[in-house]
Structure 1
Amino acid sequence: MAKEFEIKDLGRLRYFLGMEVAQSKEGISVSQWKYTLDLLKETSMTGCKPIEFNAKLGDSINRIPVNKERDQNLVGKLIYLSHTRPNISYAVSVVSQFMQALYEEHMKAVERILRYLKTTPGKNLMFRRIDKRCIEAYTDSDWAGSVVDRKSTFGYCTFVWGNLVTWRSKKQEVVARSSAEAEYRAMSLEICEEIWLKKVLSDLCQKSDQPMKLYCDNKVAISIVNNLVQHDITKHVAIDRHIIKERLDSSSFCIPYIPFGQQVADILTKGLLRQSFDFCVNKLSLIDICPNLRGSVENKRAFTFEL
């Protein structure tokens, strides 16, 4: 780059826009530890205790007003924090849906997110060098999970050479008439994500093993993919079906089935019990750089994060 542009070498990257980067023989870790502690200090939550949370979040009935500007700013900071914390992406995405009309009920949900961050301020993403050169993805959807409009929430996470690089948790734009339809739409979006990542690797002169894998836990959606007959019941997802079928025919993709209990993308679509939540966090290569800060109360309680 120095041959084309006038640049200055500042040495190894350590801190950038609130993100801390550490390099070692084990790999590269990216965290927002200081950003998290500053956020807890700003909201006076440094001394809070973790609590259980298991409730559906919808339009507020009581509509108790709050400081809109201050609380919107707080939710915005949580959105930025989720750039390195996929374990809170689902909860933050649900809360952010009410950004234009925040009430006390919604801010109680935000407080519960902060209480969870209090127990895990040092969670960071770990990137390790491995010989496995393939692109793998997990996709899932929570059919009709929204109590407001019954739309489904889909989520996916993509691993390049065994390391998590992209993830997403978002409510679908239309109401799905079945769980298979919701899963099918999520699959087509993730396939486009994997194609883009493969193109980026190609531009960087990096080859990936074939075929790319997309793990799904819905057998009906997988059977529709492998069914060569176009039935009337799949006309509403015909475009998605042809996108997926074209890639399968070219042998650039395969869609293996994965059991429900091993679906990593569950953490991006719904609230999970503590055991399942910890399983997904470990699979996402999230490690704790300061495990001693965990409270004894948090270790004894089940943690569900269902909004």
Structure 2
Amino acid sequence: MGKLTALIIYVDDMIVTGDDKEEISRLKDYLATKFEMKDLGGLKYFLGIEVARSKQGIFLSQRKYVLDLLTETRMLDCKPADTPIVQNHHLAMYPDQVPTNRYRYQRLVGRSIYLSHTRPDIAYAVSVVSQFLHSLSEAHMGAVECILRYLKSSPGRGIMFSKNDHCRIEGYTDADWAGNVTDRRSTSGYFTFVGVNLVTWRSKKQKVVALSSAEAEYRGMTKGVCELLWLRRLFGELGYSSNSASDLFCDNKAAIDISHNPIQHDRTKHVEVDRHFIKEKLDGNIIQFLFVKSEDQLADILTKAIGSQAFDNSLVKLGMNDIYAPT
């Protein structure tokens, strides 16, 4: 395989990377003739994301961003929380809810959304509070402050990217059936990995009400499949095409059985398009579904609020840690 040089641009900030030093040098010289540029050397800080290198790999975090946010909100000395959202929170829109400061709430949620770029541990909590931007109450503000108190417990937590001997693409997908108190829609989420490195994740409320847990899981599986297909296509463009199927782990046997069943019946008519889409990818040996026990389902933290012990165990399995924490 030939060498590769990549240019990543966001507005007026850019990263040049690759494995061809001569090509990188020529590219920077060419860009300097077209634009006024300043070479800041090795990547250490980009759009609020901190980059630390070691023999173990590359570590991404937003520690300074977190500390600035806590300072701005005067919560730098607050009592830390074990999880970003409490179990059985029942957050919803109620007719007798007490209103709160809309501007502050929306600003804090917006800051939290950007922070979730390197913090999948807060993805579910941020997804929940984002649903009340235009109908908020003191209870919703309390949920946002819980996220901040959790960030206080580990401001430097981030993701490690280590070198591996393979680039297999796989994912975990999960759904929590009818978990939303207001409209009874389900929440689905997925994690995707390249090698053993976590690369993408998402927690999002589904657009329609699912009539069963299998239907909710199946709709979530469709989103996970789409993400795996995007990653396979991206890696193919980078010269790392894969001929083997990508594994997608799910903890719902009924949803897995539906994906392999070509016969439409009452249990599948609500997800007919998804069923045909997934069956096509299965027949093409592009993906394969594997069952995983609920206690080993990594995507569980993206669909519901869980206890601190199970939450911490999931973060260990995801490879999340805080290299700045005292040992």
Fold match (TM-score > 0.5): yes
Q: Distance in 2 between matches of 1:276 and 1:232?
A: 36
Displacement of 1:250 in angstroms is 1.1
| One of 103, 119, 125 as aligned partner of 2:137 | 103
- Once the two structures are TM-superposed, the CA of residue 232 in structure 1 deviates from its matched residue by 3.5
Deviates more, 1:255-264 or 1:105-114: 105-114
Q: Report the CA distance shift for 1:274/1:153 in structure 2 as closer, same or farther (over 3 A).
A: same
Give CA-to-partner distance per residue, 1:222-273, whole Å, 9 cap, x none: 1111223222431121111111111111112110100000000001000111
Partner of residue 6 from structure 1, selected from 28, 31, 34: 31
**Cα RMSD (Å):** 1.7
Question: Which segment drifts farther, 24-33 or 137-146?
Answer: 24-33
Please report how far the alpha carbon of residue 62 of structure 1 lies from its aligned counterpart in structure 2 after TM superposition.
Answer: 3.6
Once the two structures are TM-superposed, the CA of residue 57 in structure 1 deviates from its matched residue by 0.7
More contact order relative to length (CA 8 Å, sep ≥ 6)? 1
Aligned to 2:106: 72
2:243 matches 1:186: no
1:88 paired to 2:113: no
SS across alignment from 1:247: helix
Number of residue pairs matched by the alignment:
293
1:138 and 1:214 in contact (8 A); partners too: yes
Letter in 2 for 1:42: E
Distance 2:145 2:40 in 1: 39
The alpha-carbon deviation at position 100 of structure 1 amounts to: 1.3
Deviations 1:154-200 (A, max 9, x none): 00010012211110000000000000001101111111111111111
Q: CA deviation at 1:15?
A: 0.7
1:64 partner letter: V
How far does the alpha carbon of each residue in 1:138-165 deviate from its partner, in whole angstroms, 9 at most, with x for none? 0000000000000000000100122111
Provide the C-alpha distance between the structure 2 equivalents of 1:142 and 1:21, rounded to a whole number of angstroms: 34
Residue from 129, 139, 144 that aligns with 2:173: 139
Unmatched segments (≥5 aa) in structure 1: 294-307
Q: Which deviates further from its counterpart, 112-121 or 150-159?
A: 112-121
* 1:245 aligned onto 2:279: yes
Tell me how far 1:290 sits from its aligned partner: 2.6
Aligned equivalents of 2:285, 2:100: Cα separation in 1: 54
- Which stretch of the first structure deviates more once superposed, 255-264 or 206-215? 206-215
8 Å Cα contact 1:159-1:165 kept in structure 2 = yes
User: Among 70, 75, 78, which residue is 1:48 paired with?
Assistant: 78
Residue number in structure 2 paired with 1:24: 54
Choose from 294, 297, 301 the match for 1:267: 301
CA contact (8 A) 1:142 1:152 kept: yes
Provide the C-alpha distance between the structure 2 equivalents of 1:253 and 1:231, rounded to a whole number of angstroms: 23
Q: 1:204 aligns with which of 218, 238, 242?
A: 238
Amino acid at match of 2:272: A
Q: Percent identity among equivalent residues?
A: 54
* CA distance in structure 2 between the partners assigned to 1:147 and 1:241 by the alignment: 28
Q: 1:65 Cα deviation (Å)?
A: 2.6
Partner of 1:112: 146
Pairwise CA distance, 1:87:
0.3
* 2-structure distance, mates of 1:65, 1:188: 37
User: Secondary structure in 2 aligned to 1:101?
Assistant: coil
Contact 2:93 2:136 (8 Å CA) reproduced: no
